[in-house]
Every structure is written in structure tokens, then in C-alpha cells.
Amino acid sequence: MNGLAARAATIVALAGLLAAQQPETATWRLLGRSGVATVRSGAGAAPVELHAGEARELPFVEAQVDFPWNDAGKPGSLGLTVAPGDEVVLAVEAAGPDATRERALDGEAMLETTRGDHRWALRTAALPDDEASDYRVVADVELGSGDDARAVGVVARRSDNGCYVFAVDPAAAVVRIERWFGADRMIVAQATTASAPTGSHRLTFQLQGFRLHCFVDEQPVLQVLDGGLQRGGVGLAAMREGDLGRSVRLGAPAAPRCSVAAVIGRGEATLVAATAALPGSMHVLDLAQARPGPPPVLGPEGVEPWLLQPPAAPHVMRADWRDSLGGNTIGEVPFYGSVTVALRWPALPALRHRVVSARLLLVTAEGDEVTGVLPVVPIRF
């Protein structure tokens, strides 16, 4: 009896030791020499900034990763599911810092609207005709709480005919795009927020043709097609009188850019990518033997220009229609551009602890041309 009790105590002790050794966080890294990513948890935790070249231990299980604008465009946001002990590697296309210019706001007005019988304060600036149609306007705003809570927004395409307003309303916990014609306000699109937004936030309103796209702190929140207003100036708006900023930042519309994340577990990995591929394009997983240093830069012929020979990183394998490497390793890119690939590494002793460079190739629907190559991420099994 004493022997059985001793064995049970030993088993309980070993189980407790194993549980204590289980990691509670995942390791996150952003590749590159510069850049930053913002990681947000679905559980409502404070966002975390991840800078290039650093590794951080984060407890997030469900996370969204957002990237700032750069001079090449706006890398797409990624939604990830991560388990404790995983390694998360993020990569975006290399580019310089975002190029926007400051625009002073010199026009002031009070506008009484018919919707809700509210008075709005506006501070605006006119734009030359060649700049008044497609642009991106950025503003840093302060959102109050309680009795100080009031809707604040970014004004775009302001003219005698009206304007668009991308507004954040902390009292109602909503973000919305409104189209104003004189005193009439129409809600074009609206979404609720997880909680009432307060404090300092960066609002970005991008207009390109009929496409209206809104961001809060680099995070996409609204996108809609509307052709009610074609041209006009920019500015700021706030419900009721109060302090308004005296300038905004103005830039060209940012094209969507590719981003990719590898969530690496034991013997398997998941690649999540945001692409800018045309509808109908195909994606193909490509693995190559990693080598020290950055991934090789290849010319149009698939060779390294300064060596004039095929790359020194040999191809390990490429996806096939039988999904030999995992799930969805080759397939059609959905219309929204997000791709998820499940990679399984063969459980062979000779392949353990190997590092491979994984990337996704974007191919035409006919399969006769590679139209894009996503950033490379190293995966160690």
C-alpha cells in the first residue's frame, strides 16, 4: 500500500514538474533592419509594438498584426492563432519611411446638421484641382470620455456640395463614414468598436476613386464604395465646439503591399499571408535550403545578378496538387487576398533542426508566369 502511495506521489510530482516547464508565451520576431509591427490581442490586452531585429515573449493566443504605411504602400494586416511555445516570424517587403506632408487648416465653420440635431465644428483647407480627388489624410486626435466624449473625425473631399467625414464616436463606441450634403448627414458605413475608444489615436482616411478606406492606429476598420463626392479639400470635424487641430498630414493613396507570418510549432508551421494578387491568381509554396545572411536577391531570370549563376540556396521542394507538404500549399488566392498554408515537415532524423527559407509564389491562373514573390521567412524544425 505504501508502495502504491509513493508511486502516486511520484507521478503527481512529475506531472507538476512537466506543467511548470510548459511555456506560457510564444516568441515573436520581425525580420529586417528597420520597421515596426503592432500586435493586438483579441482578449483586449494593450497593443504591443514589435520592432525589427528584436524578440519578444508574448502571451497572445488570438492576435491581429498591423503594419504602418511606408513609401511603397500599406502592408496588409494579419490574423494569427498562436499556441504557447510557438515561434512567430513576421516579414514585410522592404521599403523606406512613409512620405506625407503637413497641410495647415485655415478655414473654420460651424455646421448644424439635421441628423440628431447636432452642431459640428469644422476646420478645413482647400486643395488644388490636381490634388483634390485621390489622397490619404492622416490626423492625430484626442478622444474624451464621460461628459467630455464627443465624436471627432477627418474631413475629405470638402466642397460647396458637401464632404465625407470619417468619424469616431467614443460615446456610442462606433466608427462611421458619413456623407454630408449641406445640413443633411447620411451614414455610408458603420462598425462598432470592442470598447469606447479614448485617449490619443491616429485616424487615416484614404480615398481613391469610389473606394473609401479608414484606419484607426494603422488598423483597418471600414471600407466601402461610394461615388457621391468626387473632389474637395481636407480637414477636421468635431461634434460641438471645442479644440481642433490646426493641421493634418496629406499623402498619395497607399497601394496594398504583401506581408507574411510564420507560426512555427513542433514539426509543423502555418504561413499566413496578405497579398495584393489579382483575383484568380494562384499561390505556390516554395522551400529552399537556408544559408547564412539575408535571403538572396534574384533577378528576372531567377539568378543572383552579381554571381551570374543560379542561387546558392538550392530548392528543397515545391508544393504539388497532392498537398505532400501540408494543406493548401498550392491553390487559388481568395478575392480578399489572404492565404493560409499548413506546412508539415517530414519526421526524418536527417531533417531535424534544419532551417529552410519559405516563401509563397504568386502565379497567373494559367500557371505560365510568376507575378509576385512574397517575403521570405526562415523556418527551423
Q: What is the pLDDT of residue 20?
A: 47
- Residue of higher predicted confidence among 132 and 307: 132
**Cα gap 60→81, rounded to integer Å:** 8
Query: Which SS3 state, helix, strand or coil, does residue 276 take?
Result: coil
78 pLDDT band, cuts 50/70/90, is: very high
What is the reported pLDDT for 112? 66
The residue type found at 200 is S
Average pLDDT in the 106-133 region?
A: 79
Cα gap 200→259, rounded to integer Å: 27
Predicted pLDDT of residue 2: 59
Mean pLDDT of 158-175: 90
More reliable by pLDDT, 270 or 32: 270
For 115-124, the pLDDT digits (tens) are: 655 788 889 9
- Provide mean pLDDT across the span 176-181: 92
What local confidence, expressed as pLDDT, does residue 190 receive? 93
Residues 308-321 pLDDT 10s: 555 555 566 778 78
Residues ≥6 apart with Cβ < 8 Å to 220:
66, 77, 213, 214
Write down how long the chain is.
381
pLDDT tens per residue, range 140-166: 998 887 767 788 999 999 998 899 999
> What is the separation of C-alpha 175 from the centre of its chain, rounded to a whole number of angstroms?
18
For 14, residues 6+ apart whose C-beta sits below 8 A from its C-beta are none
Q: And the C-alpha cell for 206?
A: 484614404
Question: Which pLDDT belongs to residue 51?
Answer: 92
Domains and CATH numbers, the chain: 23-96+256-380 (no CATH), 101-251 (2.60.120.560)
Phi, psi of 54 (to 5 degrees): -105, 155
Q: Percentage of the chain with pLDDT > 70?
A: 80
* Backbone dihedral angles phi then psi of residue 365, each to the nearest 5 degrees: -60, -30
CA dist., res. 73 & res. 68, Å (int): 9
From CA 153, how far away is CA 240, in angstroms rounded?
12
Contacts of 355 (CB under 8 A, 6+ apart): 290, 378, 379, 380
Give 113's pLDDT tier (boundaries 50, 70, 90). Answer: low
**With contact defined as beta carbons under 8 Å apart, do 187 and 222 qualify?**
no
